[in-house]
Amino acid sequence: MINETRFVSEELRVRVLEAMEALNYQPSAVARSLRRKETQTIGMMVPDSSNPFFAEVARGIEDTSFGQGYSVILCNSDGDLEKEQFYINVLVEKRVDGMIFVAAGGSAQHIRTLLERDMPLVVVDREVAGVEVDSVLTDNLQGGYLATKHLIELGHRRIGCIAGPSDLTPSAERVIGYKRALTEHNLVVNENLIRKGDFQYEGGYKAVCEFLTMNEPPTAVFACNDLMAVGAISGVRKRGWRVPEDLALIGFDDIALASFTNPPLTTVAQPKYEMGILAAQMLMERIKDKTMPPRRHLLETTLVVRESCHAQ
């Protein structure tokens, strides 16, 4: 009667509805999902929920999913493969209709297993080698090139780079873009001017402090994400230097905080919210049709010039 699947008298219908209201009855979502073989929920796996970049991507996913009648379960892997596997198991047990995945390093086997189980899946931000899967990516190589080219055009010739983890494709591709810009402008690629960071504030702080202790420190630094750039600003000040007067600095991502640093951060913008929207749309399409061939969307980056870069 509640589902209007059979005829009942009007008197009985009214009495049941009144009883439901008095008891504050809520239909069982579990029972409904078992009957329909769908839960109207999707899972989202991120490696760091505290990173504003992922928060903005997640907002695009949540807004789009909500508009389509889906709920989103957010899981934070901390970049740890065991924790990632644990949350995958939880999401499978909860019978989510699909997953959106920002992979930790080495997640290929996890994703391959999900695909073998016919789980609708979209990978965001990080390409996973050896796996054919729907993906929404940013042209990180182009972004690294744009950032370095901007510094070169300002007259800088000794340009440092604070890279992210080397096993993550966004970091590796941004460094390739950095090197390509140097090479195309007849500048030597000096490996001593590349420091490995961690995509966190602390990594940027530590790397820039190492740069500033060199006999010939760089005059400009490209940090491969905004969190490391913010940490670098703090490190520069700790040494008694100034941005941009003593060191030009450029980031990557264009998180909301970038506009409010002191000075406001020049950075390479990714279309974060749009990435989330597109990923959610692709997942809905994949849920409806699991037979489509894998699709790959590569979105462009743009340079956002603010006040953290000074001409040499």
**158-170 pLDDT, tens digit each:** 999 999 998 899 9
Beta pairing class for 159-163 and 194-196:
parallel
Kindly give, in sequence order, each residue whose CB lies less than 8 Å from that of residue 31, ignoring residues fewer than 6 positions away.
none
pLDDT of res. 260: 97
CA distance 198 to 163: 8
Average pLDDT of the residues in 44-48: 95
The token pair that represents 163 in the structure block: 């890279």
Supply the mean pLDDT for the chain. 92
CA distance 284 to 195: 40
Q: How confident is the model at residue 269 (pLDDT cuts 50, 70, 90)?
A: very high
Instruction: Give bridge partners of residue 228 from the DSSP assignment.
Output: none
pLDDT at residue 157 above 80? Answer: yes
**225-262 pLDDT, tens digit each:** 999 999 999 999 999 999 999 999 999 999 999 999 99
Average pLDDT of the residues in 272-300: 97
Asked whether the beta carbons of 45 and 101 are under 8 A apart, the reply is yes
The token pair that represents 28 in the structure block: 């069982």
CA distance 237 to 58: 33
Which of 3.40.50.2300, 2.40.50.140, 3.40.50.300, 3.40.640.10 would CATH assign to domain 10-138+272-299? 3.40.50.2300
Furthest-apart CA atoms within the chain: distance in Å? 90
pLDDT at residue 304 above 90? Answer: yes
| Whole-prediction pTM | 0.87
Q: Please identify which residue in the block is written with the tokens 């940013």.
A: 138
**128-146 pLDDT, tens digit each:** 888 999 999 999 999 999 9
pLDDT of res. 19: 66
Express as a percent the part of the chain with pLDDT over 90: 83
Asked whether the beta carbons of 280 and 57 are under 8 A apart, the reply is no
Tell me the C-alpha to C-alpha distance, in Å, between residue 294 and each of 115, 121, 122, 178, 286. Answer: 11, 10, 9, 30, 9
**19-33 pLDDT, tens digit each:** 667 766 555 444 444
pLDDT of res. 300: 97
Asked whether the beta carbons of 159 and 148 are under 8 A apart, the reply is yes
pLDDT at residue 36 above 60? Answer: no
pLDDT of res. 64: 98
Domain boundaries of the chain, sorted by first residue = 10-138+272-299, 140-270
Average pLDDT of the residues in 207-219: 97
pLDDT of res. 34: 47
- With 0-12 / 13-18 / 19 or more C-beta atoms within 10 angstroms meaning exposed / middle / buried, residue 23 is exposed
Task: Give the other-Cβ count within 10 Å of 5's Cβ.
Answer: 6
Q: Does the fold of domain 140-270 match that of domain 10-138+272-299?
A: yes
pLDDT at residue 74 above 60? Answer: yes
Compute the Cα dihedral for 152, 156, 158, 164 and give only its sign. negative
In CATH, the number for domain 140-270 is 3.40.50.2300
pLDDT of res. 28: 45
**90-118 pLDDT, tens digit each:** 999 999 999 999 988 778 999 999 999 99
